[in-house]
Structure 1
Amino acid sequence: MALPIALDQGLIDSIATEFQLRDPNKRALRELIYHLTGDFDPLEPMVMHMATGAGKTYLMAALIEYLSRFGVKNVMVVVPPSTVLENKTVQNFTQGSRRYVDGFSSAPQVVSPGNYGAWRAGQSELFRNAADGPMVYVFNVSQLIEPKKVNARAGTEEGMRRKIRDHQEESGSLYDYLVNLDDLVVIADESHLFGTSAKAFNQALKDLRPAATIGLTASASDTDHVVFHYPLYSAIEDGYVKSPMLVYRENGYPKDSAEERQLLDAVSLLRNKEAAYEAYGKANTGEAKRTKPLLFVVCESVAHAGDVTKILQGPGYFGDPEAVLQFDNKHNDAITLRRLDELDSPASTVRAIVSVDRLKEGWDTKRVAVMCALRAMSSDILTQQTMGRGLRLPFGARTGVAELDQLDILSHKSFKSLLKDEDVLRSFGLGDAAPGAVSGKDVEESFRQDEGQVQPNPDDPSPETQRGSSSGSTAWPTTSSGEATDGPSDIGTTAGETTQVTGGNTGGVSFRRVGDNETMQRADYIPATEIRVNEQFAGKTFLFPSTVMAKSTTPFLLSHIDDEDIIRAARRVADSKEALTREEIVVRKSKLDTKRTTDAEVESAPVAEDAVINELTQRVFGLGVVTQDTKNTVTFAQYVLPTFMANAGIDHWTEKAKQSAVDELVALVNEKSRQHASSLQTETTIVPVELPIDEVVTLPFGKEVLQQLSKDQQAKFKPREFYDGWNRGLFPAASFDSWGGEYLLALLLNYTSDIVWWKRLYSTDGASIMYTTRDTYYPDFVAQDFDGTMWIIEGKSDKGRDDETVQAKRAAARVLVRELLGEEDFVGQKWSYVIAYESDIRASESWEDLKRKSNPGS
């Protein structure tokens, strides 16, 4: 069978925009609609196998909206037996809730165990057609299982099962209503828990006799009917979730104090995150989504969780009972649930959650930054769902800062045991984080290929740990490459040394090895990265000729109107007569009618001369082109009006003559105002800006200096990152927006023998050129050649050759360099300007080559 809907790509695109769907969710929606319009078994779930954190809730909402547009308005969202997940789902579809998924054309009406009001209102004749939005029924699967008792106490599990089936006098039985619907679509959230092995849950879904069943899960099985798959490694690669970082001690933890030591490490990792979040917040003062990181500890049992909670609340750890929240079967009261629900509130005091797998599904806080499993997980699915709690990005998108974009997962195993593991990621429930299995040998090889970087010890000032550039797998701005040696124990450094090795990305997951006696907490998190001017250019400054462009602001005055123009306008004033329409009354077939006959001309109504003067005055100053100040008012009264009235040739003013006079004088003033505006000259003022502003530049938070790339390494280029190795640059490191127009140009400037020095220009330098009275642009470089000429240089795509804006910038710069000849601050200097197009840059082997190809202006 098929649902009564159609595959409408335009509608899919529209809904994707309204719900701000990510690309994989948009593709998933289309694939799901495609299958729903074909033949399918309504009792077999169509499974959407999607990575945790990829946006399944938004896909669910978009699907409900799509179905509603075709009149399929009854959707049941079935969740696992979880108060947290049930409450969250209700909030997702309840308008006004802070978790509401916005984008619906009409807000859904939500029916849940705690609120049957929307359904009861829908059964009333008075409200039957009142709601245009979809009806969304949210129940956990346990409440749908057929009750075993006829009478059950309210509030109990059996009581909830009975409630949905009980007949209500005004509305009937909700369960019977649902079963008899023709268009009930069931969405099974976390559908891996509803498989054939969970017989009662599986049967509960089938008993609803739905028109279609859809499953959403991050953990599909081989027997599931999967219609769309978006794996974790794709979500990591696309930047929609955090990248996991597995953290190991060299030899694991000693048996006599394993948990205490592991918890101390977890708290240290959290403090690193807290420092990073705080620093990011200060560097991004406009960040509206300010948040704090959270530690998530998974325990073996309720008793175990209680012991761990006491440890974390004590001295040496958090030292605060309010900082640690325990959530398990015996700690799930209303206060605990409220604190859990308010985790994302800035007022939350919780820094750590201690649980026993109670939060493995549906918990969507973005705060989890460190995870610590104090026991081996019992199954792959359990582990994957648990790890999924920490994959959501804290600021909604990648920041480029590793400590913010990574999830630290602290292992209780040793690094040495990792190297013996045949499937490292699967043991952490991260098997989907790579296209294939990753063994310990793969991790070892990852280090060995120099994908990793040796992290400098903040307390070690030696040059070996303070120089070089860093890898993208760490947020430290300055690192140096580590040589890999033979033997698993010798990767990077030997155990116990104060050096941390961060492995390369093996399928989207990174690995970090920490010496047994090394602290995990960094003493000075992310020290400010400073770039100092190259030694040979210390003290070097120059003036850049910034420009400000404006039109003359001389106002238009009535005195600018010549008296001859006033006289000519006055002589065009005419006093024509009014036309009076005449119609003759005639009889047509015993009926009276009228017939147009010759119009008669009559005199226009007389008007006093003062009325004409008042009208002219109001209309002229009402144009908005003349300021009604004392000067213009006197000029109008004593010059314009007398001249105009004296030459109008009207002895007795009429309405017709008055209107003619208004038209002529208004036209004259408007024309003279336009002529004045077009005669105003554009004035360019040169404002010298001394550069560089400072000999030390502090990089933005999280930015690091990367090694210089050769001209054949375009694939490794990252826009707006800093690259070093510029010996002719005033500074040894610089960032670039493009490869062909800027980075390759910098290589040419740096290695040609014709250039003495060059500087990359940034908007913060204030080196700008106005090319219209409203538009400003910032050139890319300034350089001095061996002839002493100062060059303003702009790198552009070849498309710029025919681009009007690019050519307007070029024209303004050429005018500027000519005007500098007589500018006092630039006397004796020679300046020139060049636009370098990408194809010319690639084809040039020297600065002289590029100049010949680029036709510079001076």
Structure 2
Amino acid sequence: MFDADVIINIFNVDKINKDAGRIKALQEYIGESYFDYLAGLPDLVMLMDEAHRYRAKAGMKAVAELKPILGLELTATPKTVGAKSVDFANVIYRYGLAEAMEDGFVKEPAVATRANFNPSSVSPKELERIKLEDGVHAHENVKVELDIYARETGRPLVHPFMLVVAQDTAHAREIRETVEDDKFFGGRYKDRVIEVHSALKGEESDEAAEKLVGLEKDGKTEIVIHVNKLKEGWDVTNLYTIVPLRASASEILTEQTLGRGLRLPYGARTGVEAVDTLTVIAHDRFDEVIRQAREDGSPLKVKAVQIGNGGDVSLEGAVLLESPTVLETVLTSKVEASPDKPAPAPIFDTQEARTVANVTLQVIRQMERELPNLDQLKRPEVQEKIAQRVAEITRPAQGTLEGVIAAADVGAIVATVTTKVAEQTIEIPEIVVLPTSEVTFSFSDFDLTGLDRLTPQPMSMEITIHELRTERRRTIARTLADRREERFEDYLVTHLIDHDEVDYDATADLLYKLAGQMVAHLRGYLSEDDDVENVLLTQGKMLADTIFSQMMAHYVETPTRYVGKVSKGFTLLKPLAFKVTDPKAVRDFRKPVVPAGDTRKHVFDGFTKCVFPHQSFQSNEERLFAVLIDTHEPKVERWVKPGPKQFQIEYRRHEKYEPDFVVETATEKLIVEIKARKDMTDDTVQAKATAARTWVGYATRHAASYGGKPWRYVLIPHDEMTENATLAGLVAKFNMQAIVDEDVALEAAS
């Protein structure tokens, strides 16, 4: 804390530096009377933002007039401005870009190029066009990813834009003409471009500045072209693609370039790679940027992105494929069939009837907390209640319905919809599972062993000083006086409690017992207490590490406990959304992808038992499991790969688990997870499994209350997904016991 009467923050330093009457400018900025008051304070502390701007003579003199006893400077660039900039020598705390990336406070930078592309094979002008086109591909790709993320999470939609860095004003004008030309993606980006540089004057400059300010909320602007005019004060969160033209690798890697797009739109990383990544298009500097980023001292560790069909970003562009459930589609839509993909027959023939069906589904969603299970939808009194609500909602819009659909017909439609929903939906209750405690660590009681092999000796109590210039050495004596502990054991315990696993309050007795055994061992071969203390002082950490290594052999971890609560008897499945290059390019799920590692890049259809017409798989083994349950298992009635937010299972604080599959058979329901064999014992996989077992325990207990099907959790190693595998065999071998409350196990029915 500073003994000061006031801390003042001055922002308008550029105005003061440029104004010949700098003191007057400062007086006007903060008010003349307040200026006089501050100048008369004996203990004025000043907090100065954008400190690199203060080093100009006029600004410094204006600040000096206030006679502060201390100035605290804040800046992202701790060096003077100008051609011959000098690093500040008075930095007392530094938090750099590398630390911010490591701690997850900014986006991860990635550098992109085309696979097997040789930039020297094309002219410089053609290279720029290719980079601009690929920048647009990357931009359109992230637009779809952000749209999907917003739909799945319910968070605000982020409108991304692309920043193009030009060499000079003439170059900027040339780029704008290129991207607004009809030949550039069919003129799609006309009137969607901002050009910002010093040559803009009057209304044109004002218009560009206004668009810049509103860029985060303006979904129209998609490309910004600038020539080093974007300085302090312009920070946005929705910049996702940068195209630096005619820039060196060093210029690309500067914080001034990357810093424009590193801010996170949601204030923290989401865990979704596309939402958390800033992409730089650098075809002609790709290898050089990667090399420089890997050098020691570089603040950046950038990811490589491939542009091209089969790569991370397709040249065919990206579109959003919305996929409601099959049932919702046949109830509420006019289904169009194609020769190769016949569509299910629609249930209602008229648009008016489909409108009432859609409203009925919305009312059912509103009643998820009221009804304990889906079978309740078949009850006449429930159908009548729903029909009344539907009639009330549709009545204001009955200008088109009046006289076409009678009130009795609304009731009939409601009866049809509710019955179909009850019979053709996987009933998934909403059960909120939360960890009730964090993992705790303890150590069982034991005695140290093997101490006879450990005989450290006293060390010299002198300090050697080496003079760098003269190469002379000298020694000075040091004493133990300022380091003495009350008990010899304290020298060891001080080091032991530095380990995160050691809770002093819980393990103090064991720590002092073990430390006492070590001290007794030292006294067994050292006759003088001074020698014992010398060893403890000079080699105490080594001895404590020896003790800790034996403690870890007696380490006991108390697992997190979970508790569940049924908040809804059922939840209707929400529509899914996928990113595809072309909806017609969706693949038949029965046909494997070559190479198999590319399976996760595709969207599949052709299912007969999946409640959605489209699904995606994270591995070929997941696809094989889908083939098994959809094609070869007659007892499977329906299945789904649930979307985000369908389950409320937290396996750690604020970290949610989303199961791979939900499968309903004639006798039971399964949550199925497929993991790589090497990951089966991973702590995260096991934590998810424990939380999921708790979920199925509560789900089974809830189902038992009304005669519903029990649940089981099945964790399958990936190499068990062979062509001759059966669902019954996999479940028998890999199902895990359910958990409810204080380890009360519920056996799921076979």
* TM-score, normalisation: structure 2: 0.45
Larger Rg: 1
* TM-score, normalisation: structure 1: 0.40
Query: RCO (CA 8 Å, sep 6+): is it higher in 1 or 2?
Result: 2
